[in-house]
Amino acid sequence: MSPSKLLLPLSYAAILGGTLTLIGTSTNILASDFARLLIDGRDGIGMFEFTGLGAILLIVGTAYLLTVGWRLTPARVPADSDPVAEFDLDDYLTHLYVRPASPAVGQSVEAFDDSHSDVRILQIRRDGEAYAGPHSDRVIQAGDGVIVHGPMHAVTQFREAAMLGRRPRETVTQETFESAATDGMLAKAVVPDQSPFVGDTISATGLHEYHETSVLALRRGGDLYRTALGERTLQAGDLLVVRTTPAAVRYFTDTGSLVVADERALDRLADADIDDVAPLSPKTPIAVGVLVSVVALAALNVLPIVIAALAGVVAMVVTGCLTTTDAYDAVSWNVIFLLAGVIPLGIALESTGGAALVSDFLVATDSVLPTVGVMFVLYLVAGVLASVITPVATVVLMIPVGVNAAAQLGANEFAFLLAVMFASATSFMTPVGYQTNLMVYGPGGYEFTDFLRVGGPLQLLLAVVATAGIAVIWGV
């Protein structure tokens, strides 16, 4: 089955799951704080206060994805896709061999590779065995097969300078890297939102020097890059084709710096680790207890969720479940800086009359629409904004607008706040609207319009269901 048929529904299911509890997504927590600040008599939102409506959205969304959504989701990536063919690398991977008179004879693979900056040695093949390059200290011998990566003109210059022969009938595929016993493998990997590599050039990440990983191609949306890769700056959602090792895959998986999206690479990693399963930590019961306590304190309204969560982090550090470094690294600094920008923007919108202007527009629709219709329009506007400027920014900007409009209409302010919250938390129409959409964008081979075609009807359907549910449960 094409992974494209599964990855988009997977992302949408994760988004729908975020509507079930207060801690399902950061926008819910922000909305809770706004409820406390903007609505008299409101002390935030309870942990499971909107779980019932969230469950309805999950059921409706799942039914859509299993029927209409399934038919609309394209099969962009073939089920038996080879990364070489998928990323059009045929002209960038070449099978050479070492002639007896070659100056490479007697050199180590690493030394020989370092002498040619435009071409990367990926593998040395000898007597049915393969040795991962370019970090191998094995000595090159006459007759060795050499798999190299680089532009055709650079490979030609490299071949002539090193006096190597070419095997034109032996094309390089993913099987080339797996047909012989070797630590090297070809894999696809996604750059996640929280990766430390985001913002660095590929050469600055140290992937080649420290992790024995060579980047062969980069796909970003509809753009495919196969040359001058060292100077490319990585962004969240980038899809990479890499020649790597099981040890590097393990490191990427443990640190979250890259998400390996290749079944065969993960299978090899599982085979390597099958006899080395780490036991549960003695701290596991403590960690689980702290987690349950945080949820219970927030659910029973003993403490606000922000205070309970912060206390939980302190308890994790004090009991040794978490180091201060781990806690620091886990902070989503990009979200912090986003809030540092959009909260003043929201204040400016309020103080300059911008929020009142939008509120007046919503109130004006009351002359032709019932109050629930006005709330539906608010939901649609917030949903479109969340698909363009991120859900977090939408919550900050639109909740004051919604509450202000409700106050002018004499409507339920909390209901209007919930409309913005649910609209922001269910953003399906663009790959940039929610980080899980961005993560599946590359591996699924999707086009921008795929999200609009599959997610647009879903977002409209849930707008109707959510607006009706809010009106029935909380009133307008």
3-state secondary structure of 193: coil
CB 22 within 8 A of CB 47: yes
Instruction: Write the pLDDT tens digit of every residue in 340-369.
Output: 877 787 778 777 877 778 888 888 888 899
If we measure between CA atoms, which residue out of 273, 136, 153, 137 comes closest to residue 212? 136
pLDDT for 306: 84
Instruction: Write the pLDDT tens digit of every residue in 94-108.
Output: 889 899 988 888 888
pLDDT for 277: 57
Instruction: Write the pLDDT tens digit of every residue in 119-159.
Output: 888 888 887 777 766 667 778 889 888 888 888 888 888 88
Confidence of residue 417 (pLDDT cuts 50, 70, 90): very high
Please, is 461 exposed, middle or buried when counting C-beta atoms within 10 Å of its C-beta (0-12, 13-18, 19+)? Answer: middle
Let me know how many helices (H) and strands (E) the chain has, helices first: 20, 10
To the nearest 10 degrees (0 to 180), the angle between helices 26-38 and 305-318 is 130
pLDDT for 64: 97
Share of the chain above pLDDT 70, in %: 93
Fold assignment, 91-171:
Alpha-Beta Plaits (3.30.70)
Instruction: Write the pLDDT tens digit of every residue in 149-204.
Output: 888 888 888 888 888 888 877 778 777 776 655 667 788 899 988 888 988 999 89
Instruction: Write the pLDDT tens digit of every residue in 256-304.
Output: 889 887 766 666 665 555 455 567 888 999 999 999 999 999 888 888 8
If we measure between CA atoms, which residue out of 139, 141, 142, 155 comes closest to residue 99? 142
